[in-house]
Structure 1
Amino acid sequence: MFAITPRISNDAGLFSLLDVIRDPYSMYQQGNLLPVRFGDGTIGHIGGRIGDSQVENTDKEFRIRLDLSSYKPEEVKITMDSQKVTVHAKHEERRDNHGFVSREMTRTYKLPNDVDVNSASSSMNDNGTLSIKLSKTALEAPKDVNIPVEFKKE
């Protein structure tokens, strides 16, 4: 009996997915993932494929980062309701290194119940990383509430 281990090829040669699991920075070190500096000063990476995304859901905010490096900001449309945010990007046919290409993608994210939809903001950096940020609603401390006692004569 033997195991088949998928192998990935890059300019540095072949390496195994198990190698990446053991050392998640191995792909980064071999140049497969490009570092991205996000607007909040953090450095990270998005998987290296167009359309890859990261979602962060903390107690203070909900944030989406999406690789849209093949699109210009004016080709991206973001819509939202109280339950989801949808990103739609499309560009018409254009020439590239291999001929002509047209692209279109739509990605929808479910929103947590405690986001403030009125706080939504987005930005796109030079690398084509779209960031969408929504603040969480502040949880109000319970207030003292007087409950009147209704007297009913029987």
Structure 2
Amino acid sequence: MSFWHMSRLMDRIMEDYMREMARNENRVSPYWRDADHSILQVANEAHQTVNDDKKFAVTIDVSQFRPEELKVNLDGRCLTVEGKQEQKDDRSFMARSFVRSWTLPEDANLEALRTELSDRGQLTIEAPKTGTSGTKKNIPICPAHK
């Protein structure tokens, strides 16, 4: 088979594929257009993090979840926020979830870690700093020995 025939065969295969994709898109389109697209934004918004001399804090939008659908865990210095939601009825099932993790700084007071969930669904997790982080110093970069 010549290169020209092979090229035409590949073109035909791609055209068939694209035609089938367009056909499937047209079949799904009426349902997609009417769907609740907010489920695609599950905790997908940018979170806000503060890490200054006084505290480490993170705020995340969890407004699509009820408090009982959320978990905040601390494993060592690893802070994890999880949300899991399931909705069932006679004809459908919908599930959404998210997991976000942060490593807390060495000088964060883990014993004083607290959470707050606002009426608008903003979850804030905050740990004050102990102020006893290691001494800061500049470390010179030395050339390698040959």
Q: Quick one: which of 115, 130, 134 aligns to 2:127?
A: 134
Matched positions, count: 89
Between Structure 1 and Structure 2, the one with more helix by share is 2
2:42 and 2:96 in contact (8 A); partners too: no
For structure 2, list consecutive stretches of 5 or more residues without a partner in the other structure. 1-40, 134-146
For structure 1, list consecutive stretches of 5 or more residues without a partner in the other structure. 1-48, 141-154
**Where in structure 2 are the equivalents of 1:16-55 lying within 5 Å?**
49-51=41-43, 52=45, 53-55=47-49
Give me the TM-score of the superposition, normalised by structure 1. 0.53
- What is the identity percentage for the equivalent residue pairs of Structure 1 and Structure 2? 31
Q: Which runs of 4+ in 1 moved over 3 A?
A: none
- Looking at structure 1, the residues matched to 121 and 51 of structure 2 have their Cα atoms a distance apart, in angstroms, of 22
**Pairing 1:104–2:97 present:** yes
Task: Compute the displacement of 1:139 (Å).
Answer: 2.7
2:86 and 2:93 in contact (8 A); partners too: no
Task: Compute the displacement of 1:74 (Å).
Answer: 1.1
Q: Deviations over 1:82-140 (max 9, x none)?
A: 32100011011257xxx753211111111111101001000111111100000111339
Give me the TM-score of the superposition, normalised by structure 2. 0.55
Backbone CA RMSD of aligned residues: 1.9
* Higher gyration radius (CA): 2
